[in-house]
Every structure is written in structure tokens, then in C-alpha cells.
Homo-oligomer: A and B are copies of this chain.
Amino acid sequence: MNIIRILAVDDHEMTTLGYKFILEDSEFDGFKVHVDTSKTFEEASEKIRQSVNRLPYHIILLDIQLSSNIEHKEKTGEDLGVLAREVSPESKVVFMSSFSDNYRINSIMQSVDPEGYMVKSEIDEASLQSMVKTVTSNPPYYTQKALAAIRKKMANRINLDENDKKILYHLSIGTKTKDMINHISLSLPTIENRKRHIKALFGIEKQNDQALISEARDRGFI
């Protein structure tokens, strides 16, 4: 009987234990599952590094929010995903996230391109089991909310460049336009111009930033 080795990373121990109990008790065709758990970025990255010398994990389950032990460098599950891709390229990476917002999902789809993305509210015993089956045999596996975000992004025919996306992102987190020059290497008038330009693309000329944010969210940019 083959063993599928899984590493589950989440700062809430109850969550990873849930995954462990469900998956190790599940009946699969032709294999059993073993689940390791980690609570921090550092512990998880160490386990991944060590695993590649012996038996790499088949699947790595990552929460996005990881409250790191070392305060001064906040590392997220996304960073851990990037690291996992580098040191353990054969492992399948699956995000288990509370976030179903477009910006997060888009970002992770580009930086990690995970084999799976599950929104936590949609996780149950059945979906966990099909995730394992699908990811090992025929990826990807996305839950419905993740799929809806992905669909929204795909349907979009407007392509903004990196600076435009940064502007939208900073708007969404409340950065003042005049402060964006500290985060984006563009002059203030240019940023203003680009905002106008994006509004025109979105068909909301002569409207304020609130309208822009709401439209950008609707179109899956943030």
C-alpha cells in the first residue's frame, strides 16, 4: 500500500489536526495518507527542506496567514509556496485559505501556480478527499469560490500593466494618491493620469475613487 505524504501548515493547530484526522481515516483506492503538521513558517520550511533529502512530500497544504514567530520579518503562506516550489519542485502545492478575494487568488496563481486552491468555508470531508485524489492524479483542484474568482479574471479583456495594478491595489488598501509616489516609481501627475485612464477603460469617467475601487473589485483586479 503506497503512502501519500502530506504536510499541512496552519497557525491554528486545530485546523491542521482536522485535516490530519479526516485524511488519515479516509479510504482511498490504492494508497493511504500520512499527514505532518506545522504551525509556523520556519518550522514548515525546515520540514520541507529536510524532506527533500529523504522522501519529498507529495502534497503541501498551506494557509496564507501565518503569524510568524520572528516579528520583524512577516512571512506568509504565499512566500512558503514560492519556497516550496524551489526546494521541492515535485511536491504539489495546495492553498487552504480564508481569502476568496480576487487580488489574493490572482497573485498566488501567478507567483506559485498551485495545484489546488480551497476556500476554507468550502472545505469538508468530501472535498478534502477529492482534493487529494485530483491533485495527485489530475490537477488542478479549485473549490467553487476560487473558481468564481478565476473565471472573473479570465473573462477580463482589459489588460493593465504592473503600475496600473499597483495603483489599484494601493487604492484598495487606502493609500492616498499623493503617497503612492513612495511605493510606485511614477510621478504624481502620471498616477493621476493613469487613474483617469483606467476609469475611462472601465467606463466610469468623471467618477471618484470609490467608484474606481468598486469597479476594479467587480472586474477581479483587487
Contacts and interface: CB of A to CB of B under 8 A. Distances in A.
Interface in A165-206: none
Q: What copy number does this chain have within its complex? A: 2
Interface stretch (A17-25, A36-44, A64-72, A138-146): A138-146
A214 to B, nearest CB: 19
Contacts of A153: 154
A123 to B, nearest CB: 15
Contacts of A140: 147-148, 151
A106 interface: yes
A56 to B, nearest CB: 21
Interface stretch (A2-10, A27-35, A45-53, A155-163): A155-163
Interface in A96-113: 106, 109-110, 113
A83 interface: no
Interface residues of A, number: 21
A139 B109 CA distance: 20
A150 interface: yes
A8 to B, nearest CB: 22
Contacts of A142: 147
A167 B139 CA distance: 30
Nearest to A134: B144
Contacts of A157: 110
17 contacts: A106-B154, A109-B151, A109-B154, A110-B155, A110-B157, A113-B151, A113-B154, A113-B155, A134-B144, A138-B144, A139-B151, A140-B148, A142-B147, A150-B150, A150-B154, A159-B159, A159-B161
Given A138-B144, A140-B151, 10 more contacts: A106-B154, A110-B154, A113-B151, A113-B154, A134-B144, A140-B147, A140-B148, A150-B150, A150-B154, A159-B159
